[in-house]
Structure 1
């Protein structure tokens, strides 16, 4: 049984999907704690399932490295097998990635390496592409540049707005994340091998 710490910044829809999946006794992973870089709305999902939460705000620390050290300390209390960045909108300092990798994965609303960064959906629309997608990746020291675990295309429809396109990407992202967690738990994906490939 994989133990998961999920890091969020917003509403936590992927977190909710993981919590719902883990209601199935056959699902081989359980969320043990939820963290954020602020008092996130998604904490409501954790509280509904009785999952402990913690917030580690960058503004409370003198610099990013000190914040990263504190974040690692909070996460390591739970001794997770896997840490999932799910809508976590802060870049992690190298020390955090070194401490938690390769068992550190991220979801992204684009078909990487296309449209990395905080505005993947907006950037896809601005580029006028006919399709974008969703990805689950290993976290490295770049911006959405780690090895790809899973991804799927999503069509851009005429008249799409950033909101309408993102709403169609989200369910694909959730499915990819849950399947990735399953594949990691069942040994179909080896994160150490992926990190060194």
Structure 2
């Protein structure tokens, strides 16, 4: 069976990307990363290049509006033969134009237990609200913001003396554990989606 070809979109350091690279190299995920794209210069590009993966910055500022930018992303992904788009710290909201093009084939990880605390400042919002448990969520992407069907979640305690940095570090460890696992399940055809519900098949 042909391996899934991943297109990974990043905006920052690329630690989630690294966890996926490591899992693939260890033989834990039956996929290959065909291309890594960023919307600005980011260390994720360096991580990809060190692993021998094509890495391209598609600078958002070079485009007039979101659709031309997304069209450029789609062209790069299609040219690389990508079958699953993986968002790994990609800090742009994707429009229905992009989501529709890869419908059912976009995965994201969010650093909170959705549907609580969506958006770009999850750790800050978690601490401000005073909840006792946080974590991360892997989900399929739909046309909303962090609103797609949930694949897997992992929880961590929120400690009384937590800062955004200490909470973020604890959550990140779980991200690095469950994101490659969800990609593996997708590649093995073990994720069944019915409406909002994702069932993991045996």
Cross-structure match for 1:15: 17
TM-score (normalizing by structure 1)? 0.95
Cross-structure match for 1:64: 66
Equivalent residue for 2:93, pick from 85, 91, 110: 91
Cross-structure match for 2:76: 74
Find runs of 4+ consecutive structure 1 residues off by over 4 angstroms. Answer: 194-197
- On the 8 A contact 1:82/1:103 being kept in 2, the answer is yes
For residues 69 and 194 of structure 1, do their structure 2 counterparts lie closer, same or farther at Cα, with a shift above 3 Å needed? farther
| Other structure's SS at 1:116 match | coil
Q: Deviations over 1:95-132 (max 9, x none)?
A: 10011121101000000000000001110001011011
CA-atom RMSD, angstroms?
1.3
Where does structure 1 lack aligned partners over 5 or more consecutive residues? none
Cross-structure match for 1:160: 162
Where does structure 2 lack aligned partners over 5 or more consecutive residues? 198-202
- On the 8 A contact 1:109/1:133 being kept in 2, the answer is yes
Cross-structure match for 1:126: 128
- On the 8 A contact 2:29/2:181 being kept in 1, the answer is no
Equivalent residue for 2:186, pick from 184, 187, 196: 184
- On the 8 A contact 1:102/1:195 being kept in 2, the answer is no
- CA deviation after TM superposition for structure 1 residue 185, in Å: 1.2
Equivalent residue for 2:139, pick from 127, 137, 140: 137
- CA deviation after TM superposition for structure 1 residue 51, in Å: 0.4
